[in-house]
């Protein structure tokens, strides 16, 4: 996650982890923030240590937000709490940094290559779960990237040379309830959290002594204080204190002065546990099998049964939210609430599951997500693809947990192969080839017994490997899957296998084999009208094969068929690539008239998916078209932008020889036309573009703004309301209060506004609103 200005920049993140709470809600800590900032000025690695619940994460976030201007390449957060597999550490860090290397390089090598020469702050939150692996990674980052600084949170040091360890103290607690006590950190936090569940609550003369005593009993631990404040929905301060003192007496025999801080936190969690009814306690334990956030329907399916009817899950879940055991989040767009257990609370719940119950629940969890993914794969060729990808992205860590169960639980690897294979559309459409290959390879290694699931997984592994640039290896794996399918007589698998073999053969430039298998996959799809998973992509891939074989006309006809089918079925993914291949075929044959319209439509779709690879393919092709039209200045700018954006992807245009040759010819033609100085200046301009700026330039949006004085972006009615309030100078908190929405929702709206308008600050939003308000413009009919 990257911070830019006051909001999180979604444009910087094709994938984002946990969005942190707004740090203005993290009261106090000014001195601590200042001290850590000073340490980072002189030390390249600072590790914040302390017991769980002491506020390490929020302190790190506060520091990072206040250091934005010191790091031109941003402050980036990687939340490791949800990571269940240490081998995915490099991949997760890369994803949060926007490193979408598609090559066969190791994740570590790609990450270090990205970091060299950059000046940024990397916040690794929750290193204690994989302290050894994090320490090794950080040591290499510091050695390879001298301008990178690392701020880590962990219950123990990373033990890396040059590490500065800073123990995070608890919040400042007053000695008594005298005047001025209400300004201390712990009391402020309790007041703020209590007011969130009991509007209008304030610390005053009547309750100050009780609040101070309560905060002292909790040793100033933020998590414990928040749990206690959550009880204010049903109890008074004095009742909360009395019940907490009873809990201490039970745990320590009355000797509260000897209570260690970790017992204090556990006491607060156990107290919350005791306040729950039997249904809530049981659901708490069962929910511990989820990794990251989850939706109500997932909780109902995984956790119901065995004495907890499905219709009672919602009531128990609502009770856990009321008791501050579950925290509520909003999914992308705020369409459906999602819930999360904090790590300490999740671990406590899991303690109440014995081995057999835990395995049974993990299996139900796996089966649930296998069902979700299987339905999505069957329905992929149709409407709602963006929503499916966004939903699975939000469920990513639950998918990882399901795959990890299959890999580590004896006898489950074959089911894991099935899950990893049906996720093919997710690996490819979301640009997570490395993640896909990791899970496919590890699960294939666990069970080598021939089966339908293994054939499917092996064929997908071959295609993914080829797309990473290891074309010969990828083709060999897909070919082996085809041999196993033929030997076993598995007719159902052959449809998938033909697509995988044909695609990997096309990428390896084995055109005759590619044409044979892709044509058969297309024939099967035409015959029964079924295009499960990504098999409809056989049409544009066969078109590429025809183009490389010299038949541009056939390539265009195949693409037009794919475009027609996509439009009929409401598909966007195949449509976007078909538009690109059609434009490429028209460029190759010199028919340039309609290319720009096709590429514009293609890019707009790919922006909706966050498909960086597809966008850069489109920019590259537009550069070739510009050069063919004699627009060499424009071609040079686009080549510069393409050069910058290809670099972190690792694989250039899948490294097909004709593509590389066409790129070189375009570059040489424009260089000759402009001369060295003008070409280099134009290319340098393009290299300064970020992805959004490059797309704007390629599609002429900058020109449209200049000529019309308006943005080709339409805000929703709610976004327009938020933009107007921002223009009035209101903070996110004030916007939320005015519109009666959560602060998180207000932040998300501001985030979307900045992203849509391509702005970086609230001041720009204010100026934009002023221009439109003066001209009488509003949100139009977009609501």
What CATH number corresponds to the domain at position 293? 1.10.10.10
- pLDDT value at position 265? 73
Q: Are residues 293 and 367 both part of a single domain?
A: no
Question: Do 568 and 496 share a domain, yes or no?
Answer: yes
- Domain end: 125, 145, 167, which one? 167
Considering 167, 192, 211, which residue would you say is the last residue of a domain?
167
Rounded CA-CA distance 148/435 in Å is 25
User: In the 8-state DSSP scheme, what is residue 169?
Assistant: P
The CA-based dihedral angle spanning residues 486, 490, 491, 495, taken in that order and rounded to the nearest 10 degrees = -80
User: In this structure, is residue 471 part of a structural domain?
Assistant: yes
- Residue 337 in tokens: 């609430």
Q: Pull the structure tokens for residue 613.
A: 């690879």
CA atoms within 13 A on the CB side of 637: 15
Which residue blocks in 424-548 are alpha helix, DSSP H? 424-429, 433-446, 452-467, 471-488, 491-507, 511-528, 538-548
Kindly state whether residues 318 and 247 are assigned to the same domain: no
| Model pLDDT, residue 704 | 42
Same domain, residue pair 60 and 209: no
112 located within any domain:
yes
Residue 659 in any domain: the answer is no
517 in any annotated domain: yes
- Which single residue is written with the structure tokens 């309560």? 214
pLDDT of residue 89: 92
Containing structural domain, residue 163: 2-167
Give dist(CA 183, CA 756) in Å, integer: 40
Q: 625 lies in a domain?
A: no
Residue 233 CB coordination number (10 Å): 13
Mean pLDDT by 10 residues, the chain (783 residues): 34 30 49 89 92 85 88 90 85 85 81 91 91 95 95 90 90 70 79 90 91 87 86 88 70 44 71 88 97 93 95 94 78 70 85 95 98 93 90 93 96 97 93 91 95 96 92 96 92 87 95 96 87 88 95 96 93 95 94 86 88 90 94 94 79 74 93 93 90 88 47 67 86 83 78 73 77 51 32
- Same domain for 136 and 12, yes or no, is yes
The answer on 159 and 16 residing in a single domain is yes
Q: What is the pLDDT of residue 218?
A: 84
| pLDDT confidence of residue 652 | 60
CA separation, residue 134 to residues 88, 103, 120 (Å): 11, 23, 18
Look up the pTM and report it.
Answer: 0.75
Cα separation of 564 and 61, whole Å?
49
One domain for residues 186 and 151: no
Same domain, 342 and 470: no
**What local confidence, expressed as pLDDT, does residue 656 receive?**
82
Q: Which helix (H) or strand (E) holds 344?
A: helix 343-350
> Of the candidates 573, 594, 610, which is a domain's last residue?
610
Do 548 and 567 belong to one domain? yes
436 in any annotated domain: yes
Helix, strand, coil share (%) of the chain residues, nearest 5:
65, 5, 25
| Residues 241 and 282 grouped into a single domain | no
Tell whether 488 and 541 lie within a shared domain: yes
Spatial separation of the C-alpha atoms in residues 81 and 448, rounded to whole Å: 32
Q: What CATH number is associated with residue 125?
A: 3.40.50.300
Task: Kindly report the three-state secondary structure assignment for every residue of 614-664.
Answer: HHHHHHHHHHHHHHHCCCHHHHHHHHHHHHHHHHHHCCCHHHCHHHHHHHH
- Report yes or no on 30 lying in a domain: yes
- DSSP annotation of 781 reads T
Q: Specify whether 390 is located in the same domain as 403.
A: yes
Q: Which two tokens stand for residue 284?
A: 């708490």
**Which ranges in 651-731 belong to alpha helices (H)?**
657-674, 676-687, 691-698, 701-708, 717-727
Backbone dihedral angles phi then psi of residue 105, each to the nearest 5 degrees: -60, 155
Asked whether residue 679 is assigned to any structural domain, the reply reads: no
Q: How many domains, in total, are found in the chain?
A: 5
152 CB-contact burial (10 Å; exposed 0-12 / middle 13-18 / buried 19+): buried
């Amino acid at each position: 996650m990257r911070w830019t200005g006051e909001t999180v920049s979604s444009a910087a993140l094709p994938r984002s982890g946990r969005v942190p709470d707004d740090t203005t809600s993290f009261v106090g800590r000014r001195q601590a923030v200042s001290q850590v900032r000073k340490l980072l000025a002189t030390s390249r690695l600072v590790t914040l240590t302390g017991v769980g619940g002491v506020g390490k994460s929020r302190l790190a976030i506060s520091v990072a937000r206040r250091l934005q201007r010191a790091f031109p390449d941003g402050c980036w957060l990687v939340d490791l709490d949800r990571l269940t597999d240490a081998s995915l550490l490099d991949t997760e860090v890369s994803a949060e940094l926007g490193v979408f290397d598609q090559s066969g390089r190791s994740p570590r090598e790609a990450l270090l290559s990205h970091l060299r020469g950059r000046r940024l702050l990397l916040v690794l939150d929750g290193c204690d779960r994989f302290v050894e692996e994090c320490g090794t990674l950080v040591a290499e980052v510091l050695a390879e990237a001298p301008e990178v600084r690392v701020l880590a949170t962990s219950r123990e040091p990373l033990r890396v040379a040059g590490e500065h360890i800073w123990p995070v103290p608890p919040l400042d607690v007053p000695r008594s309830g005298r005047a001025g006590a209400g300004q201390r950190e712990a009391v402020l936090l309790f007041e703020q959290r209590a007011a969130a569940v009991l509007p209008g609550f304030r610390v005053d003369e009547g309750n100050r002594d009780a609040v101070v005593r309560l905060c002292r009993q909790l040793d100033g631990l933020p998590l414990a204080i928040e749990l206690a404040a959550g009880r204010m929905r049903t109890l008074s301060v004095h009742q909360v204190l009395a019940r907490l003192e009873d809990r201490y007496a039970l745990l320590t025999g009355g000797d509260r002065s000897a209570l260690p801080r970790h017992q204090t936190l556990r006491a607060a969690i156990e107290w919350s546990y005791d306040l729950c009814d039997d249904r809530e306690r049981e659901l708490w334990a069962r929910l511990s099998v989820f990794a990251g956030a989850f939706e109500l329907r997932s909780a109902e399916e995984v956790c119901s049964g065995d004495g907890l009817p499905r219709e009672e899950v919602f009531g128990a879940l609502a009770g856990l939210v009321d008791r501050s055991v579950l925290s509520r989040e909003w999914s992308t767009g705020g369409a459906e609430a999602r819930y999360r257990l904090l790590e300490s609370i999740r671990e406590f719940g899991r303690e109440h599951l014995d081995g057999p119950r835990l395995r049974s629940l993990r299996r139900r969890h796996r089966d649930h997500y296998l069902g979700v993914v299987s339905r999505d794969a069957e329905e992929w060729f149709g409407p709602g693809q963006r929503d499916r990808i966004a939903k699975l992205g939000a469920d990513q860590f639950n998918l990882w947990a399901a795959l990890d169960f299959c890999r580590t639980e004896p006898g489950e690897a074959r089911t894991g192969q099935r899950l990893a294979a049906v996720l093919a559309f997710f690996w490819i459409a979301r640009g997570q080839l490395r993640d896909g290959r990791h899970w496919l390879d590890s699960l294939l290694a666990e069970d080598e017994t021939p089966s339908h699931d293994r054939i499917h997984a092996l064929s997908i592994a071959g295609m993914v490997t080829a797309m990473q640039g290891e074309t010969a290896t990828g083709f060999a794996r897909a070919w082996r899957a085809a041999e196993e399918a033929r030997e076993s007589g598995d007719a159902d698998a052959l449809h998938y296998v033909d697509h995988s073999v044909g695609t990997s053969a096309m990428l390896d430039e084995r055109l005759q084999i590619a044409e044979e298998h892709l044509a058969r996959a297309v024939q099967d799809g035409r015959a029964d009208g079924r295009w499960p998973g990504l098999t409809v992509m056989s049409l544009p891939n066969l078109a590429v094969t025809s183009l490389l074989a010299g038949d541009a006309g056939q390539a265009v006809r195949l693409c037009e068929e794919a475009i027609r089918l996509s439009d009929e079925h409401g598909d966007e993914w195949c449509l976007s690539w078909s538009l690109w291949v059609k434009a490429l075929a028209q460029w190759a044959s010199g028919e340039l008239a309609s290319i720009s319209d096709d590429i514009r439509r293609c890019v707009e779709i790919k922006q909706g998916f966050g498909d960086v690879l597809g966008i850069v393919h489109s920019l590259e092709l537009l550069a070739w078209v510009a050069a063919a039209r004699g627009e060499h200045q424009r071609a040079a700018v686009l080549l510069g932008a393409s050069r910058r954006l290809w670099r972190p992807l690792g694989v250039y245009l899948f490294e097909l020889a004709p593509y590389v040759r066409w790129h070189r010819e375009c570059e040489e033609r424009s260089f000759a036309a402009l001369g060295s100085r003008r070409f280099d200046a134009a290319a340098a301009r393009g290299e300064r573009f970020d992805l959004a700026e490059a797309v704007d330039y390629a599609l002429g949006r900058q020109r449209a703004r200049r000529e019309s004085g308006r943005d080709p972006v339409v805000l929703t009615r709610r976004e327009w309301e938020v933009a107007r309030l921002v223009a009035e100078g209101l903070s996110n908190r004030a916007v939320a209060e005015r519109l009666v929405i959560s602060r998180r929702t207000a932040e998300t709206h501001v985030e979307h506004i900045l992203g849509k308008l391509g702005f970086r600050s609230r001041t720009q939003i204010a100026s934009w609103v002023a221009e439109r308000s003066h001209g009488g413009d509003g949100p139009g009919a977009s609501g």
